[in-house]
Chains A and B, each alone.
Chain A
């Protein structure tokens, strides 16, 4: 066994009870499956069916939201994503509504179109809604909840202590294998 590798944890101690992570993983799996079906449908000889893009329009926001929740959920401190629920929900909704609006709204772009911040309505939904709104919410939510939801000085110290133990164990193993060789 590699001396740098600490012992494996006993069987059955994985945190399977974490409902947030389980839900996020299930959502991620379902969303990827929906996207796969959407792509699969495009291979039909009669052409891409009209419902295929809708699967991606819903599957993409859900998959991105799910993987973010999976990453943000903590096993300790009660688990879950705490106050991050709202920003995640908001961004998934913004992306899904944006994509669905772009699919559903009729094409009315013309020289007489009303412009929203310099763009016709459907383009404004895409550029400002999908492209800019998440920037206002997600990175700010990440920073504001960083110490409580992501990483605290105490977390770093715990991991550094383990790192120190790992290094000491490795150097001991190296020294003892050196002694055995010299004997």
Chain B
């Protein structure tokens, strides 16, 4: 049994070179489509609302596919299958929550955030926290916490882009980072979230197509799921146990962090503002869940499939678990399928980077000025300028020490979860929540996550198997939120505006 250590989470492993004519051709085609979409979107972006929330005018299907695209990073294609290969079915507890998270988000956040957007013309997640608690301080603190998480995510995504582009075109890691960030920056700065959304639609469709084709290929090659299971059971039955090689606490901990924590992930939550008609939310959870299932088929099938192929002697043993997907693609599948998947991985990292660049720019040009009692006159201009700065900073950071970048990226998910879930997800549904409770909760999430992750990074502290900083920080943040709100409960009615209360009653 092992504790929690996810190989290749950040896609920093060196991928083998895939620079073959078919892969390069599909890669060039992929980048050409991205550029074409970006030019079209740039012509349609005229206001800050267009730039940050696509003028609240995105249709259901486009928003759904885009949301699937930003919810899945390169981890689902490379690190995830490698993690299954290493620890067995226990790694599935990272993705199993997808069965409930989308509809949970719809019930808990989507309606209220979308209606708050109508009532207050809100465009960011800290906006919603500020409106809920009548508090620029809470809005500012949430913005700072998100910015810290975004810095980490951006650096790791920039590095991931470099790794994938280097693998496809063989240009070197440094150039891969600059090319990936350059293309992402070009469409982020010119077309804002509109370019991001329609590129996400293209990228999400590509990811789903690649995932389904790989899934069907693996099942066919392995003699169906039964054939794959029989091969594994003959050599390593623990692999197909309900926890794989993880402890039950570790697997359950994954489920908790990746289910409850999903309510605080800005790249998905921010999308609720963008839907053209709030009534279209009706089919959003169903469509998004089905989309995610399609994209995650590769995660499961490659993880168990490669394990069976290696155990059965049909594939050479892997140098490291992260090589599960590349090894299958470059040694077993038709090269065109490899080309599709490599472009799909590039798509996954670029869509995530674009989304975080946009959210980070909104925080700096919109939320932080509000927190300090100021307004920015030209939000669109500032938004574009800050987009450029964030992208350049991320690319420069990504060129530095790999372990430092890994450290920055590891706590991204946990930081968003611990700082935003209680104040936002519970706060928008509980009228007894108070401003003091929200601020204390966000501060607790921020401090506990940073302190525990730093201590772990410096090897000053080792968690027991199954316990993570993200989980501890989220639980602490919840408990502080409940306790401080209860202690200051007399203030709750005074901190709730009538329009916000109506939205919470509906």
Contact = CB atoms under 8 A, between A and B. Distances in A.
A is bound by B: yes
Interface of A: 4-16, 21, 25, 28-29, 32-33, 35-36, 38-39, 42-43, 47-48, 52-53, 56-57, 60, 63-64, 67-68, 70-76, 91, 95, 99, 102-103, 105, 107, 109-111, 113, 115, 117-120, 122-123, 125-127, 130-135, 138-140, 142-143, 146-147, 150-151, 153, 155-156, 158-160, 162-163, 166-167
Contacts of B247: 48, 53
8 contacts: A8-B496, A9-B493, A12-B493, A13-B493, A67-B108, A68-B104, A70-B426, A102-B248
Given A43-B467, A48-B464, A166-B499, A130 B506 contact: no
Contact of A159 (B256, B425, B493, B502): B502
A75 B234 CA distance: 56
A109 to B, nearest CB: 4
Looking at A53, A74, A95, A167, the one whose CB has the most chain B CB atoms below 10 A away is: A53
Contact of B118 (A95, A139, A153, A156): A156
A139 to B, nearest CB: 4
Contact of A138 (B249, B285, B472, B476): B285
B506 A159 contact: yes
A138 B259 CA distance: 15
A118 B215 CA distance: 14
B443 interface: no
Contacts of A33: 479
A151 B278 contact: yes
B478 interface: yes
Contacts of A21: 429-430
B297 to A, nearest CB: 12
A77 B255 CA distance: 34
Interface string B466-481: 1100011001101100
Contacts of A64: 100, 104, 259-260
A110 B233 contact: yes
A132 B293 CA distance: 9
B281 A159 contact: no
Interface string B414-428: 000000000001100
Contacts of B134: 5, 8
Nearest to B466: A42
A10 B109 CA distance: 25
Nearest to B475: A36
Per DSSP, chain A at the interface is helix
B475 A52 contact: no
A30 to B, nearest CB: 10
Contacts of A14: 431-432, 492-493, 496, 501
B286 A140 contact: yes
B498 A9 contact: yes
Nearest to B108: A71
A159 to B, nearest CB: 5
B104 A42 contact: no
A105 B241 CA distance: 11
B229 to A, nearest CB: 6
A102 B241 CA distance: 9
Given A8-B496, A109-B241, A118 B229 contact: yes
B121 interface: yes
A6 to B, nearest CB: 5
A162 B118 CA distance: 9
B111 interface: yes
Contact of A15 (B260, B431, B494): B431
A56 B242 contact: no
A74 B237 CA distance: 48
Contacts of B240: 109, 119-120, 123
Interface in B263-311: 263, 278-279, 281-283, 285-286, 289-290, 293, 300
Nearest to A113: B233
Contact of A118 (B96, B112, B225, B281): B225
Contacts of A159: 115, 118-119, 499, 502-503, 506
